[in-house]
A and B are shown apart, each in its own frame.
Chain A
């Protein structure tokens, strides 16, 4: 499955890019699975192992990390928001 990933704030800085398109193996079913799959790439991707500090949005709507990514087009990964 092909998926657009977007990274923001210190997630973007750790990875060194603001997003990418990935081809996921079928066993990656949830955002949690996706984070583990990304973290296994090593180096800057180690940021994805800090799951308690990460939040996500699926197709531009906030979602829990346990959410399924089946059918998703775009998943964004970022720290808790600090706007306002």
Chain B
């Protein structure tokens, strides 16, 4: 099992990260890339704050849980922080497995949990210089909680 965790300001190149997973000998690699979206017309950037000392181990714990639940060959989780303009990559989750089912399910599990169990906070910046902290979404909590009641494959 090969787990790669990154908490960084720098951008990442999804293709490069996925090649690492493709080389692990499985038949399936699945991935999710999160992008800064303009929820309002005047949104210009998201500022991601993190608790650096905790973030890496929180993501690693989530990855570890996935490897206990699905037969994975590799997991990659990279989460950026700092000020990221609309269109920038925020997060990458990648999984490798022998078959597609485990890779895709684990990928969905990992991003659902990364949203609710890793210490990151988003602040939305507008073109007029105003900013506000993004409120947590009940749907995100529900998505993460739903995995507890789903039978592992």
A residues in contact (CB < 8 Å) with B:
6, 8-10, 57, 60-62, 76, 78-84
Given A60-B54, A60-B57 in contact, is the A84-B136 Cβ separation under 8 Å?
no
Chain B residues positioned under 8 Å from A81 (CB to CB): 115-121, 136
> A84–B54 Cα gap in the complex (Å)?
15
Q: Which of the segments B45-53, B68-76, B98-106 contacts the partner chain?
A: B45-53
Contact yes or no, A78 B133, CB < 8 A: no
B122 at the A interface (CB under 8 A): yes
The answer to whether A8 and B57 have CB atoms under 8 Å apart is: no
Are B136 and A82 touching (Cβ within 8 A)? yes
Can you list 23 A-B contacts (CB < 8 A)? A8-B49, A9-B123, A10-B133, A57-B54, A57-B119, A60-B53, A61-B54, A62-B58, A76-B54, A78-B51, A81-B115, A81-B117, A81-B120, A81-B121, A82-B115, A82-B120, A82-B133, A83-B48, A83-B79, A83-B120, A83-B122, A84-B34, A84-B111
Could you tell me if A82 and B122 are in contact, using CB atoms closer than 8 angstroms? yes
| Closest Cβ neighbor of B124 among chain A residues | A82
Q: Are B133 and A9 touching (Cβ within 8 A)? A: yes
Number of residue pairs across A and B with beta carbons under 8 Å? Answer: 69
**Cα–Cα, bound, A77→B116 (Å):** 16
Give the 7 A-B residue pairs with the shortest CB-CB distance, closest first.
Answer: A83-B120, A84-B115, A9-B121, A80-B136, A60-B54, A84-B114, A82-B122
A57 to B121, CA, bound (A): 14
Give CA–CA (A6, B51) in the complex, Å. Answer: 9
Cα-based distance from A82 to B58 in the complex (angstroms): 14
Residue in B closest to A74 when the chains form the complex, CB atoms: B53
- Complex CA gap A79/B118 in Å reads 12
Contact among A8, A61, A76, A83 for B114, CB-based, below 8 A: A83
Residues of B contacting A78 in the complex (Cβ-Cβ under 8 angstroms) = 51, 119, 121
Cα distance A60–B49 in the bound complex, in angstroms = 16
B91 within 8 A of A: yes
Flag if B91 contacts A84 (CB, 8 Å): yes
Chain A residues within an 8 Å CB radius of B117: 62, 81
Q: Which residues of A contact B137 (CB under 8 A)?
A: 82
Q: Is B18 an interface residue (CB 8 A)?
A: no
